[in-house]
Chains A and B, each alone.
Chain A
Amino acid sequence: MSPALAAGAQIAFVIAVLAVLYVPLGDHMARVYTSSTHTRIEHSLYRTARIDAATDQTWGGYAGSLLGFTGASIGLLYLLQRIQGVLPLSNGLSGVSPAVAFNTAISFVTNTNWQSYTPETTMSNLTQMIGLTVQNFVSASVGVAVVVALIRGFIRAGGGHLGNFWVDLVRGSLRILLPLAAIVALILLTQGVVMSLHAAFTATGLDGSAQSLAVAPVASQEAIKELGTNGGGVLNANSAHPFENPTPLSNIVQIIALLLIPVALTRTFGTMVGNAKQGLTLLAVMAGLWGAMMTLSTWAESTASGAAGTAAGAMMEGKEIRFGIPGSVLFAVSTTGTSTGAVNSMHDSFSASSGGLYLLNMLFGEIAPGGVGSGLYSMLVFAIIAVFVGGLLVGRTPEYLGKKIGRREITMAALSVLVMPALVLVGSGVALVLPGTSNALGNSGDPGTAGGIHGFSEVLYAYASASNNNGSAFAGLTVTSDWFQISLGVAMLLGRLLPILFILALAGSLATQRHTPASAGTLPTTGVLYGALLSGVVVLVSALTFFPALALGPLAEALL
């Protein structure tokens, strides 16, 4: 099979599976969040936790519950890591250091899964299972809860109620993520992904020396790692590790898993607002960005450049032979576009152009198609801004899905868009002037050299990844210093919670409004024209914001 055919077949397979699952999964999720009955397990959960599942919360109540849950999760996860040495299944690992525990607690609770540590030698199997894996589920469920609350803001007229956070959290975890994760884990097990409570086994290498190979309960966490767009690997090499991602088929399954929920949520949105085209239009914009990234990155990787690439005749440095260029590019574009952050190749080793594309893919604000829940809510914020500009262009006070976009709505939308660029620009700006940074860079060199420019990209990538809750790393950069641990931790926390708060406030404000019926004078928010407007707004806003930074990093390196 020729490389082009192999690439095409893989992409076609991914798209075909997603297309088949789009309607059933999307509608299933819509039913989950609109159904009025609780399962028996849920009932007993609410009783135990003394939650009144019948309460319909305002945006303040919803946000309060979410913040409380997030705060408690961070605290408990921090504690668990610190005391893991005295708990069962520690396998001789002692407690995690405060800086790593702080960074990791925030990282997993905010669905970022940035890893400033080597899992095999840092996290015990107990921490992995009851700490990190649990957060993989609930942090993803929180993301969906927020977007569902926003959708309710659009569909509810008057009252300002957004549903119940606890119910949404539980249902998302139990009725959506858990069954899907079980299915994906089983498929991965068939491909040879390991699942073990042992710490390691000893093997004899080709050279005859003994090696200790780390194992862990991987398959269970691997499934939710992709499905929940988390991305934190159980093993340090993440999805490049043969125990996490052994075969081309497991690779494709992982790619499908990480795209599945973000894509299907656009259907959920369309179904809940009663117009499937609304969801399809957003999906088309997401797919357009994803497709553009795929095309450009495949093209960049197919032409050998740089010293290693030219010597080898192909851009294979940092890529696994079993995945090849198509399997690696497909994974990289999907993982940076979904705020997953799992990697099956080293993003640092891609061509400068591809590295820049992955950076840009995150800097769009994780919307192509974005993280679980977060992708859709970020896209909806862009949709509101596009509606505002487009609405003016047709001479009406802008309205989206029957709700007027007035002062309060545009304030909340603008604030939530403002957070990420502020964190990325301030974070990397400060990091670059700190004297310690140059020692942390994996690549450095005199100003103007490829190494020097690449070092810049590493720093930019770290803050882009943290602020967008992606979690993938451009490798190279050593982030164990207190500055990086703390600043990246804060970037992850603010990058997750501030937009969520603004979006819930936006949802609350929308939910108090009555519906305005659409007429021929209303801006149509479906179809090619609106899709083009929305894509234009997304590309223009991020391109304009990050053009200078990208020019000084990947662009300067690519043009060298």
Chain B
Amino acid sequence: MTAPSTLDPSPAVTDPAGGHRVTTGIFQPKQLVAALPGALRKLNPRHQARNPVMFVVFVGSITSTVLAILSPSLFGWLVVLWLWFTVVFANLAESVAEGRGKAQAATLRQAKRDTVARRLNPDRTETLVSGNDLVIGDRVVVEAGQTVPGDGDIVEGIATVDESAITGESAPVVRESGGDRCAVTGGTTVLSDRIVVEITTKPGESFVDRMIALVEGAARQKTPNEIALNILLASLTIIFLLVVVAVGPMAAYGGEQQDPIRLIALLVCLIPTTIGALLSAIGIAGMDRLVQRNVLAMSGRAVEAAGDIDVLLMDKTGTITFGNRRATALHPVPGVMAMELAAAARLSSLADETPEGRSIVTLCGTDFQLPPELSTDERRAQFVPFTAQTRMSGLDLDGRQIRKGAGTSVLAWTVERGGTAPVELTRLVTEVSQRGATPLVVTAAENNCKAAILGVIELSDVVKPHIAARFADLRAMGIRTVMVTGDNPVTAKSIAAQAGVDDFLAEATPEDKLALIRREQEGGRLVAMTGDGTNDAPALAQADVGVAMNTGTSAAKEAGNMVDLDSDPTKLIEIVEIGKQLLITRGALTTFSLANDLAKYFAILPAMFSGIYPQLDSLNIMPLATPASAILSAVIFNALVIVVLIPLALKGVRYTPTTAARLLQRNLALYGVGGVLVPFVGIWLIDLVVRLIPGIG
């Protein structure tokens, strides 16, 4: 199965300088045509009533249609036509936004076809049941080539699993019982081996089900900020309704009854139709942008909260550093040749299959040209594995013992065998630690006596390139980053300084993490974190935005309010940006919509009132040809601006991480000042065409 075609394979552009911005999905005009049937279906009054602003337009359109039928005129019918266009264009925006999710839902549905599950009975026999009949706690057997019937945790075995149906990633992943990689998702396929899965969710509530509901927008509920904005828009609509109703008697006092169609046209132009029409599309598109980056938000509330995050908790390993510590330098004690230390270090690590051990061999190969493989002679060696008691590893070869490990253990071992601690050793160990690296001390003895310390291997965490620039961006956005690590405070401090995080939590236990989140929240801050292990679950649940890695346990995925299918911990930064982008898009279109009204007044008021007071024609500054063409042009502008702004609503306003003051300056200039000026030009241009219509111009 391939990835859904609408998934954007390159979610973010990162240039070498570290600057970046959220990119957006592609919008094609043909999506408008495809969405048209859906838009027409939305003309149902019950659907319209959900949006107070557009409901007023809807009622206005119906009323003016009736009025046009009762006293037909070309002007009347043209206004009616464009009023209906306004309603349809608003529906169109929503349909297009929903349509983009539907393609993804269709792909997901294929993964959800009913599967036959092999339910394991207590007596170890199997019963074939439908996947839909499974209940929580059932154990099922899945073998190579079979589809996992539901979400659950592996309780027996290990297998490679193809998760491309969910993640779009075709490389198989390993899942095994125990540990933090035990979760499997219904709809994925086992490629090798046999596993026993304990079902953890009910059919119909599985991960795929929730994903389908999310991308289709069926589960979409208005988010708190969206509701608040709707209330503001509704009250503005009420004010303008009163304004237009009052214009009736006020104009009548001047001696002329106003044509009701003109009043409806004025009303529709004044109420914030632009933002009203695009508001739900913006919300749907925001969720969609997350899905494009392979992040599933379990609620829109979480997306909004992401924009408000004050503190970002980042695991050091895998997020800030590449994860595995690597040998980066050898430091012999005085009197020992570097080559001698390298030879010992290599020997002690040849049988050490840990990433650290292999990196020592690699370093000895690159810096000292020592072979990475065991020679024939060396095969006689006795290897001493690392244990938690000895905290050392090494080998015995031809009466020579070589050990490497933690400073205190190695020192004790050396002293027991007649060696001494070189004065320089303490200094070397301290220096290495202060650099944020881990010191491994190497020692050697002849027949368990005459032991002597050779030197120190420096193992460092390598901080990812460009990560410091990302944190600088976050700081500009007002977000504090806290690095969470199990390292000791000295190491943690050094890495924190290299990566440019604001704070760190060293020797962190899951309880410490939870306590830190609570402490920040008590100070009124919103906290985001990523996690994958079961022991992360409480912290994920406590955090305002908890992003669980898809590779993580079911418990972690259940506790978080987002799941990252790519399991990329740096994704959190993008999620924050998407949250902000969502709010900015709403704000920008609201500002634009309100600022537009000024020009519409200058178009419509002289047209309506110059019959009563000819002097008011001096307000016709654009200047528009006739009263009919002026009103019609304003109505047409009002409708067309919705269509023109659909791509902006779907893609979101461009967001560059910076301070709030800068953002405000830029967006006010663009959408506030621009919102005042654009309609003057737009209405004037439309009027140039409209005036050509016989009987209007």
Contact = CB atoms under 8 A, between A and B. Distances in A.
Interface residues of A, number: 67
A547 B251 CA distance: 13
B235 interface: yes
Contact of A396 (B246, B254, B308, B594): B308
Contacts of B421: none
Interface stretch (B236-244, B397-405, B629-637): B236-244
A433 B304 CA distance: 49
B580 A529 contact: no
Interface string A530-560: 1011001000100111111101100110011
Contacts of A397: 224-225, 304-305, 307-308, 583
B661 A456 contact: no
A426 B664 contact: no
B243 A421 contact: yes
Given A393-B668, A395-B579, A410-B232, A456 B242 contact: no
B89 interface: no
B590 A392 contact: yes
Nearest to A431: B249
A394 B310 contact: no
Contact of B605 (A523, A532, A551, A560): A551
B239 A394 contact: no
B659 interface: yes
A241 interface: no
Given A393-B591, A406-B228, A410-B232, A523 B249 contact: no
B119 interface: no
Contacts of A523: 660, 664
Contacts of A446: 255
Interface stretch (A35-43, A186-194, A252-260, A412-420): A412-420
Given A407-B228, A516-B525, A523-B664, A393 B587 contact: yes
B243 A552 contact: no
Given A392-B229, A396-B308, A551-B609, A559 B586 contact: no
Given A388-B228, A396-B583, A406-B225, 20 more contacts: A385-B232, A389-B591, A390-B587, A392-B586, A393-B664, A395-B307, A409-B228, A414-B236, A421-B243, A425-B245, A428-B246, A429-B245, A517-B524, A544-B270, A544-B601, A548-B243, A548-B250, A549-B246, A559-B613, A559-B616
19 contacts: A385-B232, A394-B663, A394-B664, A402-B524, A407-B231, A425-B245, A429-B246, A433-B253, A448-B254, A517-B525, A520-B660, A521-B478, A523-B660, A524-B660, A532-B668, A544-B601, A547-B605, A555-B616, A559-B618
A206 B601 CA distance: 55
Contacts of B228: 388, 405-407, 409-411
B665 interface: yes
B504 interface: no
Contacts of B660: 394, 396, 520-524
Interface in B220-279: 224-225, 227-229, 231-232, 234-236, 238-240, 242-243, 245-256, 270
Contacts of A418: 235, 238-239
A515 B655 CA distance: 27
A519 interface: yes
Given A395-B583, A396-B308, A432-B253, A411 B524 contact: no
B584 interface: yes
A540 to B, nearest CB: 6
Interface of B: 224-225, 227-229, 231-232, 234-236, 238-240, 242-243, 245-256, 270, 304-305, 307-308, 310, 475-480, 523-525, 579-581, 583-584, 586-588, 590-591, 594-595, 597-598, 601, 605, 609, 612-613, 615-616, 618-619, 655, 659-661, 663-665, 667-668, 671-672
A505 interface: no
Nearest to B578: A395
B553 to A, nearest CB: 31
B203 to A, nearest CB: 36
A422 B253 contact: no
A547 B247 CA distance: 10
Interface of A: 385, 388-397, 402, 405-407, 409-411, 414-415, 417-418, 421-422, 425-426, 428-430, 432-433, 446-448, 452-453, 456, 514-517, 519-524, 527, 529-530, 532-533, 536, 540, 543-549, 551-552, 555-556, 559-560
A432 B228 CA distance: 36
B661 A529 contact: yes
A553 B31 CA distance: 48
A410 B227 CA distance: 10
Given A522-B660, A544-B270, A395 B595 contact: no
Contacts of B605: 547-548, 551
A533 B598 contact: no
Which of B245, B583, B671 has the most chain A CB atoms closer than 10 A to its own CB?
B583
Nearest to A523: B660
Contacts of B586: 392
B587 A391 contact: yes
B231 A410 contact: yes
A529 B665 contact: yes
B280 to A, nearest CB: 16
Given A395-B583, A516-B525, A517-B523, A390 B664 contact: yes
A407 B227 contact: yes
Which of A397, A421, A559 has the most chain B CB atoms closer than 10 A to its own CB?
A397
Contact of B584 (A393, A421, A530): A393
Given A547-B605, A552-B251, A414 B584 contact: no
B571 to A, nearest CB: 18
Contacts of A544: 240, 243, 270, 594, 597-598, 601
Which of B247, B475, B598, B668 has the most chain A CB atoms closer than 10 A to its own CB?
B668
Contacts of A522: 478, 660
B479 A519 contact: yes
A325 B149 CA distance: 88
Contacts of B252: 432-433
Contacts of A546: 243
Q: Which 9 A-B pairs have the closest CB atoms?
A: A392-B587, A521-B478, A447-B255, A395-B580, A519-B478, A520-B478, A414-B235, A425-B246, A559-B615
A536 B609 CA distance: 26
Contacts of A551: 605, 609, 616, 619
A448 B225 CA distance: 48
A187 to B, nearest CB: 43
A559 B620 CA distance: 13
A433 B665 CA distance: 46
Nearest to B619: A551
B242 A421 contact: yes
A533 B672 CA distance: 9
Contact of A456 (B236, B254, B664): B254
Contacts of B525: 516-517
Nearest to A455: B253
Nearest to B521: A514
A547 B604 CA distance: 11
A546 B605 CA distance: 12
Contact of B659 (A392, A410, A520, A545): A520
